[in-house]
Amino acid sequence: AHSKGTSLLDPNRIINVAHRGASGYAPEHTMPAYEMGHKTFKADYIEIDLQMTKDGQLIAMHDETVDRTTNGTGAVKDKTLAEIKKLDAGSWFNEANPTLAKKSYVGLKVPTLQEVLSKYGKHANYYIETKSPEVYPGMEQKLLDVLKQNGLSSNKVKSGQVLIQSFSEASLQKVRAIDPNVPLVQLMEANEVKAMTDDRLTAIRQYAVGVGPSFKALTRENVAAIRAHDLLLHPYTVNEKADMVRMLDYGVTGVFTNYADRFNDVVKGL
Ligand code: G3P
Ligand code: CA
């Protein structure tokens, strides 16, 4: 059984990551989604994807464009924060999910990283992804600056309170060059998992504490291989209870899920 008193980086602790917040129930990367993930479901982490505005502000958004998750159109990199703040980041969810729609979601704003950190401070744990780092030169420095301004630098937080994840090794290496003590997680698409070698895992372990692979590519065998390299293993995005059970049986150390409540049930054996 996992204990909340155990370090977040302890491989014996099963980690529940609220992927884009409680994004199965509320519009992804909005304050209500984070609040539900953190407070209602008590997930271990709030997951935050980062994009950067034209004026260099880090915002919580998955896509490079605002098209899917707001009422606007166009690339984040071509918009100022003021322009992003005019957009409605909640109505799309109501339209896409009529049974989950809430009036309170209409007109929700895209949060900045700063706003999320201001709200939760040291009371939450953050699993932050540098998205499209090649599109946003300097985003790693900006991220570490914002963390520092909020008292969340690696030397000021409990172990694992802030994890930085990316599909880009180059981006993780940039973070490491600035602060070698931030725990890092290397994300892997399914094809990378299938091409994975022991040499690659050894190399990843030099800079990262864990890997975040697509759960679809995981097998009992490759889970064992990853775990044998002393890497934490948090697959994405595990939304069905049967898959959660199967992943735990293979030996993962946590999951990213849009349904943190379901994963709590599975971990409790419900
Ligand atoms: O960060 C883990 C997982 O979220 C990676 O995929 O596309 O949902 O950010 P994506
Ligand atoms: Ca992500």
Residue identifier of the C-alpha nearest atom 5 of ligand 1:
236
CA of 47 to the centre of ligand 2 (A): 7
CB 77 within 8 A of CB 53: yes
Q: Which amino acid is at 213?
A: P
Catalytic residue among 2, 62, 123, 229: 62
Predicted local confidence at residue 242, as pLDDT: 98
Alpha helices in the chain (DSSP H): 31-35, 81-85, 91-96, 113-120, 139-149, 169-178, 190-194, 198-207, 220-228, 241-250, 260-267
Cα dihedral 195, 199, 202, 203 sign: negative
Per-residue pLDDT of the chain in tens (270 residues, 90 and over written 9) = 445 678 999 999 999 999 999 999 999 999 999 999 999 999 999 999 999 999 999 999 999 999 999 999 999 999 999 999 999 999 999 999 999 999 999 999 999 999 999 999 999 999 999 999 999 999 999 999 999 999 999 999 999 999 999 999 999 999 999 999 999 999 999 999 999 999 999 999 999 999 999 999 999 999 999 999 999 999 999 999 999 999 999 999 999 999 999 999 999 998
Residue identifier of the C-alpha nearest atom 1 of ligand 1:
129
Instruction: Based on the residue annotation, tell me whether 62 is a catalytic residue of this protein.
Output: yes
CB 159 within 8 A of CB 8: yes
CA of 34 to the centre of ligand 2 (A): 14
pTM of the entire predicted model = 0.97
Gap between the Cα atoms of 53 and 82, Å rounded: 9
Instruction: Based on the residue annotation, tell me whether 19 is a catalytic residue of this protein.
Output: yes
CA of 250 to the centre of ligand 2 (A): 22
- Around ligand 1, the residues with Cβ closer than 6 Å are 19, 49, 62, 129, 165, 187, 212, 236-237, 256
Interface predicted TM-score (ipTM) over 0.95: yes
CB 174 within 8 A of CB 180: no
The pLDDT tens digits of the residues spanning 19-33 come to 999 999 999 999 999
Residue identifier of the C-alpha nearest atom 6 of ligand 1:
236
Residue identifier of the C-alpha nearest atom 7 of ligand 1:
62
